[in-house]
Chain A
Amino acid sequence: EADIYQTPRYLVIGTGKKITLECSQTMGHDKMYWYQQDPGMELHLIHYSYGVNSTEKGDLSSESTVSRIRTEHFPLTLESARPSHTSQYLCASSDSTGASGRAGTDTQYFGPGTRLTVL
């Protein structure tokens, strides 16, 4: 059973507001990811991290930023929300080293997602 959490689950916010989507995992995984997914559409990788103080932009251009100060925590921040940011945001983590006790297969475990609506 994967232990990865996202808060809030649902967020409705006005244009121009700053928001932070939280993601935490208790599995000791080294890698973490943020995906954006519109209903019925494919996953788009927007940020990823290979470990503490390591973050990279993904394949989809995004106006968001991330940080990885602790292994278990990978928040995503939008400085100024716009209606075009309305989407589902999925956080995931994986273990590439085997340090979590499982073989380092890099299987990704997903959180429940945050559905963001910007009015």
Chain B
Amino acid sequence: QKEVEQNSGPLSVPEGAIASLNCTYSDRVSQSFFWYRQYSGKSPELIMSIYSNGDKEDGRFTAQLNKASQYVSLLIRDSQPSDSATYLCAVKDVYGGFKTIFGAGTRLFVKA
């Protein structure tokens, strides 16, 4: 079983809609969670990090963390075509030598 699981997609949403991206992880003691965006042919760039249960908002992006259920999600409100990218969930693995484990990513397409 992979330690960080994401639906590979593609997830297709119309412009202006809410895009919801989900991620589950297996390490119950993970403490740090990250969402990265990667455009085709480019390097990943950090969108948000979250460390506590609940919601964290930054502009059109909201990260949600539920440690009891071991999932973290990213909501993108008012989706724009420029949001079309692959979104990587990453979890800091405490028992694995504190490495950050990346999911395989979810491809998002926002249709104009």
Query: Please, which residues of chain A bring their CB within 8 A of the CB of B105?
Result: 42
Query: Please, which residues of chain B bring their CB within 8 A of the CB of A40?
Result: 40
Query: Please, which residues of chain A bring their CB within 8 A of the CB of B90?
Result: 108
Q: A105-B32, A105-B49, A106-B92 are in contact. Are A45 and B99 (CB under 8 A)?
A: yes
Residues 19-61 (chain A) with a chain B CB within 8 angstroms: 39-40, 42-43, 45, 48, 56
Query: Does A113 contact B99, Cβ atoms closer than 8 Å?
Result: no
Residues 73-119 (chain A) with a chain B CB within 8 angstroms: 90, 94, 96, 105-113
Query: Please, which residues of chain A bring their CB within 8 A of the CB of B44?
Result: 43, 90, 108, 110
Q: How large is the interface on B (under 10, 10 to 19, 20 to 34, 35 or more residues)?
A: 20 to 34
Query: Please, which residues of chain A bring their CB within 8 A of the CB of B92?
Result: 106
Nearest residue, chain B, Cβ from A6: B43
Query: Please, which residues of chain B bring their CB within 8 A of the CB of A43?
Result: 44, 88, 102
Query: Please, which residues of chain B bring their CB within 8 A of the CB of A42?
Result: 102-105
Q: A42-B105, A43-B88 are in contact. Are A48 and B43 (CB under 8 A)?
A: no
Q: A43-B88, A107-B34 are in contact. Are A90 and B43 (CB under 8 A)?
A: yes
CA distance A93 to B39 in the complex (A): 19
Q: A42-B105, A106-B92, A106-B100 are in contact. Are A111 and B43 (CB under 8 A)?
A: yes
Q: Which of A107, A109, A112 has the most CB of B within 10 A?
A: A107
CA distance A112 to B88 in the complex (A): 17
* Chain A residues within CB distance 8 Å of chain B: 39-40, 42-43, 45, 48, 56, 90, 94, 96, 105-113
Q: Can you name 9 A-B residue pairings with CB atoms under 8 Å?
A: A42-B105, A105-B49, A106-B92, A106-B98, A108-B46, A109-B46, A111-B43, A112-B42, A112-B43
